[in-house]
């Protein structure tokens, strides 16, 4: 099973709302990632969790708050977003392998299409 699931698939929220995105994987991966993707652009890294600890925060505004409740789950809490935050939010996971055939390989979920009005 190489599936990463994300919910919801679509989300429309106002600038004063609070919402959360959810990501789940059952591949035993110990690294999980949030990426933001604007139309016709490559994904941009937001956060990395390694063994359930935040290891990378790419200077993301505090209106985005990640959470890793356990090794299979990753959440992204959203509050007071701006219209320019509208994008596809992708979750990914990978083994913490620095050698072997799976090294560096990340599996992506289908994404949550977020629209901020």
Q: Which residues share a beta bridge with 7?
A: 22
Residue 48 contacts by C-beta under 8 Å, 6 or more apart in sequence?
Answer: 31, 32, 33, 54, 55, 56
Q: Which residues of 97-106 are buried (b: 16+ CB within 10 A; e: fewer)?
A: eeeeeeeeeb
In this structure, are residues 103 and 94 in contact, taking their beta carbons and an 8 Å threshold? Answer: no
Out of 16, 59, 70, 99, name the contact with another protein by CB under 8 A. Answer: 99
Instruction: Compute the least distance from the CB of residue 81 to another protein, in Å.
Output: 21
Which residue number, 17 or 71, has a Cβ lying nearer to another protein? Answer: 71
The answer to whether residue 86 forms part of the interface with another protein (CB under 8 A) is: no
Stretch that binds another protein, among 11-19, 59-67, 75-83, 87-95 (CB under 8 A): 87-95
**Separation CA 117–CA 110 (nearest Å):** 22
Stretch that binds another protein, among 13-21, 63-71, 78-86, 97-105 (CB under 8 A): 97-105
Q: Which residues bind another protein (CB under 8 A)?
A: 6, 31, 33, 35, 40-43, 45, 48-50, 55-56, 88, 90, 92, 94, 96-99, 101, 103-111, 113
């Amino acid at each position: 099973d190489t599936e990463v699931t994300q919910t919801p698939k679509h989300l429309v929220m106002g600038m004063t709302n609070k919402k959360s995105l959810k990501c789940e994987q059952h591949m035993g991966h110990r690294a999980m990632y949030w990426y933001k993707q604007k139309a016709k652009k490559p994904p941009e890294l937001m956060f990395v969790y390694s063994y359930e600890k935040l290891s990378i925060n790419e200077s993301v505004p505090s209106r985005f708050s990640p959470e890793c409740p356990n090794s299979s789950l990753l959440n992204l809490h959203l509050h007071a977003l701006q219209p320019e935050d509208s994008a596809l939010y992708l979750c990914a996971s990978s083994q913490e392998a620095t050698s072997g055939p799976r090294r560096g390989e990340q599996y992506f979920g289908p994404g949550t299409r977020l629209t901020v009005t």
